[in-house]
Amino acid sequence: MTKIEQAEQDYKSGLKYKEIAEKYGVSLNTVKSWKTRYSWQKVCTQKQKGVHTKKCAPPPGNHNAVTHGLFAKYLPPETLQIAKELTEASPIDILWGNICIKYAAILRAQKIMYVDDKDDLTKVLKRQKIGDKSWEEEFELQFAWDKQATFLKAQSTAMTALTNMLKQYEELCRSEMATEEQRLRVDKLKAEVEVLKGENDCESVNLIDDLSGEK
């Protein structure tokens, strides 16, 4: 049984975060991070001497157990569930989630905004007017150089935001709240980002050379 699995058993048996942290030589935030990541839940015991064990996982649909009464009143169930989970997540895990979302958006943009070559022309219908004896259409032409310029600007902005988020994450990884797993996963993502930057640079140079060679 791993240390995390042992800590989970201690949590279910009723030990507090601080007691678990001291027992396994980790920070309080690390224990909270384990609890959120591995969905630890305490097991409710039977009624003893007229008193129920506290801090048990509330049954589904138990609105009396919701601590954020204002949220429960106005937020839809899906959003409320996310809000409740975020209150239990550590700052470093919240930041990592935002990093993954940003990186996924960047990768998706590679496919959506891809420019094939200098002849990559997009024709978009802007307006259409149909009369009894006439037909009128207006199109917008998006040339390769315009699309590439838009793509580069958008990717540059997104990459800058992602780089800043990674720097913040690395700073948090130097604190006691970070686990070894959290420290290692950022190195892998940074390597992937550097490869992506290199691919974007090569594609841009190739297209610029292609355009400059056009007569």
Residue identified by tokens 């899906």 is 78
pLDDT for the residue 104: 92
Average pLDDT on 9-22 reads 87
pTM of the model: 0.50
- Single-letter residue type at 214: E
pLDDT for the residue 80: 77
9 Cβ contact list (under 8 Å, min separation 6): 1
Report residue 28's pLDDT band, with 50, 70 and 90 as the boundaries: confident
pLDDT for the residue 202: 64
pLDDT for the residue 49: 44
Q: What percent of the chain has pLDDT over 70?
A: 78
10 Å Cβ neighbour count for 11? 21
Which has more confidence, 48 or 107?
107
Structural contact between residues 106 and 199, judged by C-beta atoms closer than 8 angstroms: no
Average pLDDT on 64-80 reads 66
Average pLDDT on 209-213 reads 57
Q: How is 110-158 classified by DSSP, letter by letter? A: HHHT---STT--EEEEEEEEE-SS-EEEEEEEE-HHHHHHHHHHHHHHH
pLDDT (tens digit per residue) in 102-124: 999 999 988 888 888 888 988 88
- Of how many residues is the chain composed? 215
pLDDT for the residue 93: 84
Structural contact between residues 30 and 21, judged by C-beta atoms closer than 8 angstroms: yes
The closest of 202, 195, 204 to 147, measured between CA atoms, is 204
Q: What percent of the chain has pLDDT over 90?
A: 8
Q: Where are the domains of the chain?
A: 90-215
